[in-house]
Chains A and B, each alone.
Chain A
Amino acid sequence: MTSSYVPTGDHGLYEPALSFDQLGERITSAFPDVRVEHAFGELTVHAQPDHLVDLLTFCRDELHCQMLADLSGVHWPAGDHVIERQTSTTGWPEYRISRERGVIEVLYILRSVSHNHRFRVSVGVDDEAPVLPTATGVYRTANFHEREVYDFFGVTFDGHPNMTRILMPDDWLGHPHRKDYPLGGVDIEYKHDKYIPPPDERDLREVID
C-alpha cells in the first residue's frame, strides 16, 4: 500500500498528475497484453482475468490508485447485436457486434485521491461458468461489490471470503441482471388466481380487456 498521502490544495491535488497517455503507457509497458482505449473522456484498460490481480496491485502501488471506486458487471449474451444507423442518429457509430459465446464484462473503476485520476479496468469472462480472481486482497471494498456482481450475474470470485448473495434472497434462483433473465416474471399470488405476465411478454390488447 502506498503511504497515506493527505492531499492539500498546495500539493496540486486537483491537477491530474498523470495524463491518460502517461497512464496508458505505464500500464502497457508493465502489462504488454492489455489494450488501452480512450473514449468519452475516459480511459478503459481491457485486461485478461489471469493477470487481473497483478494489474490491480500495480495500479494501487505504482499508479497511486488508493481507491477502488466502483465494481460492476455488464452481460453481453451470445448472438448478433446490430443497431442500425438511423436518420435520427446520423453521425453516431453503428453498433454491430456478433459473439459466439456470451461474455460478462466486469468493470473496475480505480481512483487516485492523491493524483486525481480515474480509469476503468474491464475484464471479460465467459458467461457460462464465469470465474474471476477476487480483488478483496488488493482493495477490501471489493467485498460487497463482488457479492453484488455474483448475485446479479453469477460471476464467482475465487478467494472471496464470503461469496454469498447480497441483495436478493439467499434462496433465489438465477441471476437477475443477466440479459436472459426477464424483468418481472416472478410468480405472485394475486386475487382470483390472476396471472400477470412480465412487461415484455404482455399483450397490450389483453390488458385493455
Chain B
Amino acid sequence: MAADPTSDPGLGDDSLELFVEGADWESVVDAVEDNRLTVNMGPQHPSTHGVLRLVLQLEGETVERLDPIIGYLHTGIEKNTEYRPWVQGTTFVTRMDYLAPLFNETGFSLATEKLLGIEIPERASALRVILLEFNRIASHLVWLATGGMELGSTTMMTFGFREREHILDLFESQSGLRMNHAYIRPGGLAQDVTDDFVERCESLLELLPRKVAEYEALLLKNPIWNDRLRGVGHLSAEDCYQLGVTGPLLRAAGVPWDLRKADPVLGYEQYDFEIPTETAGDSFARFLVRVEEIRQSMRIIRQALDTLPGGPVMVEDKSIAWPSQQALGPDGIGNDPEYIRHIMGESMEALINHFKLVTQGFTVPAGQVYVPLESPRGELGYAITSTGTNKPYRVHVREPSFVNLQAADQMSQGHMVADVVVVVASLDPVMGGVDR
C-alpha cells in the first residue's frame, strides 16, 4: 500500500526521541534504555564521498541497520536531456559520474548510434577504448586515494591524486578539459587526437606500472590497511545477484563477470586481457581486484596503441557528423578555414546542412535501446527511448553507484561504526552518479 511520502522512512521505534545538543554523553547513554541509538552520519562527513547521508541504527557501537539518504546532488540531468538535441546529451551526461565522465559520454553515444544503426570508424573505437581505460585507471586511483585518506593513509591520498593528474593532463590535452569533456559524441569523437597523443600515452604507460608497484609496497602488507579491510563488508556472489551489485564488488566475490567480455562493444573482444577475481568477497579483495584492474587496463591500452588504425574519427554521414575539423589558429581560436571556405564560398547545400545541423541537430529513429557498459563501478546502462525527433524522448541511466549503494546496509550490519567508513569506501560510490 502507498505510504505517505512525507513520513519517516521507518527507522526503529519512534517512542523515544532524543536530540543531543551539547549534552554530556553519559547522560545520553543513561537515558537510552535498550542501548539502541539512531545516529546521523553526513551529509557533510568527509568520508562519505560527497553528500551522502547515512542514518545508522546502533546497538552499542554495532551497526544494526544503515539507511542511505540520497538526493542531495540531484540535478535532473535525465530530464534535461529530453529538452536538448542528441549531440548536447553527452555534455549533460558527462556530469553524472564525474570520476568516469568518458564512460557516460560513451554510453550515451553508443545508445544513440545503436538507434541510428551506424557503425563508427575503427580509429574512433580504438581511441575510445584507450581513453576509457585511462579513465578507469584514473577512477581507481581516486578510489585508492580517497579510500586511503579515509583510513588515515594520507600518503596514499597524495600518491593517488598525483598520478591521476597526469591522466587528466592527457585528457585535457585532447579535449581541452580535465573533466566533463564532451569529447566522445554520437558518431565518433569531437576531433582527432593530437600528434603527440601516442607519445603521451607511452610515457604514462611507462610511469604507471612503477607507481602501482609503489602503492602495493605501501599498502599490501600494511598492518593497519589489512586489519581495517580484511573481513569487513562481506558480500557473497548470491548477495550481489540479489542486490544487483556489479563491477569490482561482484568480481571480488568470485564471479568473473565483466561486460567488456560478456557483452563487448567498441571491439573489446579483440584485446587480450584477464578479468581479475578474488574469492574472499570483503573490502580487501576489492582492493586487490581494483589494483589488478589498473594493470589489465594498461594491457588493453598497450594493445590498442600498437594496433591503432588510421582514418577518420567521425562517421562519414554529413547529416550526423559535425563536419568541421577545428584546429588552433594563430589567433588562438579554434577554426577550420577550409571548411568555412567550403560552406561560405562554394556550396549552398553544405551551408544549409551546416545550419540545420547546428540549429536542429539530427533526428534519430523511434525505438528503445539499452546499452550496458563496464564502468569502473560496474554496469553503467543507458536506456534511451526515441520517438524519431531531434531530441531524446527519455534517457534513463542505470548508475552502478546508485544500485551498489543499496548493499551498504547489508555490508555494514554487525560491524562497528568505524567500519561503515570502510564499507562506503569499498563501494566507491560517486554521488554525482547516484543522484544524477
Which residues of chain A have a CB within 8 Å of any CB of chain B? 1, 4, 6-9, 13-14, 39-42, 44, 66-70, 72-75, 81, 83, 86, 88-89, 92-95, 107, 109, 113, 116, 118, 120, 131, 139-141, 143-145, 148, 156, 158, 162-171, 176-177, 183, 199-200
**Which residues of A have CB within 8 Å of B243?**
140-141
Distance (whole angstroms) from the CB of A151 to the closest CB of chain B? 8
A92 with B365: in contact, given A83-B389, A113-B241, A162-B10 (CB under 8 Å)? yes
Contact among A13, A67, A89, A109 with B241 in the assembled complex (CB-CB below 8 Å): A67
5 new A-B pairs (CB below 8 Å) besides A69-B372, A70-B396?
A13-B262, A42-B370, A72-B383, A88-B363, A107-B383
Classify chain B: how many residues form its interface, as a range: 35 or more
* C-alpha spacing A166/B362, complex, angstroms: 34
**Which residues of A have CB within 8 Å of B175?**
none
* C-alpha spacing A50/B262, complex, angstroms: 33
B78 and A177 form a contact (CB under 8 A): yes
Residue on A nearest B320 in the bound complex, by CB: A88
Query: Could you list 20 examples of A-B contacts with CB < 8 Å?
Result: A4-B237, A40-B368, A41-B114, A66-B241, A69-B372, A69-B381, A70-B383, A72-B396, A74-B385, A83-B389, A88-B356, A89-B388, A95-B387, A107-B396, A109-B398, A118-B370, A141-B243, A162-B3, A165-B71, A167-B71
* C-alpha spacing A184/B383, complex, angstroms: 23
A170 and B6 form a contact (CB under 8 A): yes
Contact among A40, A74, A145 with B394 in the assembled complex (CB-CB below 8 Å): A74
A4 and B368 form a contact (CB under 8 A): no
B70 and A167 form a contact (CB under 8 A): yes
Distance (whole angstroms) from the CB of A140 to the closest CB of chain B? 5
A120 with B368: in contact, given A6-B254, A69-B244, A139-B242 (CB under 8 Å)? yes
Contact among A66, A69, A92, A140 with B398 in the assembled complex (CB-CB below 8 Å): A69
Residue on B nearest A89 in the bound complex, by CB: B363
* C-alpha spacing A171/B396, complex, angstroms: 24
**Which residues of A have CB within 8 Å of B367?**
39-40
Interface of B is mostly: loop
A166 and B398 form a contact (CB under 8 A): no
* C-alpha spacing A144/B74, complex, angstroms: 15
Q: What does the 1/0 interface line of B391-427 toward A look like (CB < 8 Å)?
A: 0011010100011011000000000000000000000
A-B contact count (CB 8 A): 155
**Which residues of A have CB within 8 Å of B2?**
131, 156, 163
* C-alpha spacing A165/B403, complex, angstroms: 16
Which residues of chain B have a CB within 8 Å of any CB of chain A? 1-3, 5-7, 9-10, 70-71, 74, 76, 78-80, 82-83, 114-115, 236-238, 241-246, 254-257, 261-263, 319, 356, 362-363, 365-370, 372, 379, 381, 383, 385, 387-389, 393-394, 396, 398, 402-403, 405-406, 435-436
User: By CB atoms of chain A within 10 A, which of B115, B241, B370 has the most?
Assistant: B241
* C-alpha spacing A158/B1, complex, angstroms: 5
Residue on B nearest A65 in the bound complex, by CB: B241
**Which residues of B have CB within 8 Å of A107?**
368, 383, 396
B82 and A183 form a contact (CB under 8 A): yes
Residue on B nearest A172 in the bound complex, by CB: B5
Contact among A14, A68, A88, A167 with B244 in the assembled complex (CB-CB below 8 Å): A68
**Which residues of B have CB within 8 Å of A66?**
241
**Which residues of B have CB within 8 Å of A171?**
6
A6 and B5 form a contact (CB under 8 A): no
A141 and B388 form a contact (CB under 8 A): no
**Which residues of B have CB within 8 Å of A141?**
242-245, 403, 406
Distance (whole angstroms) from the CB of B63 to the closest CB of chain A? 18
A7 and B257 form a contact (CB under 8 A): yes
**Which residues of B have CB within 8 Å of A70?**
370, 381, 383, 396, 398
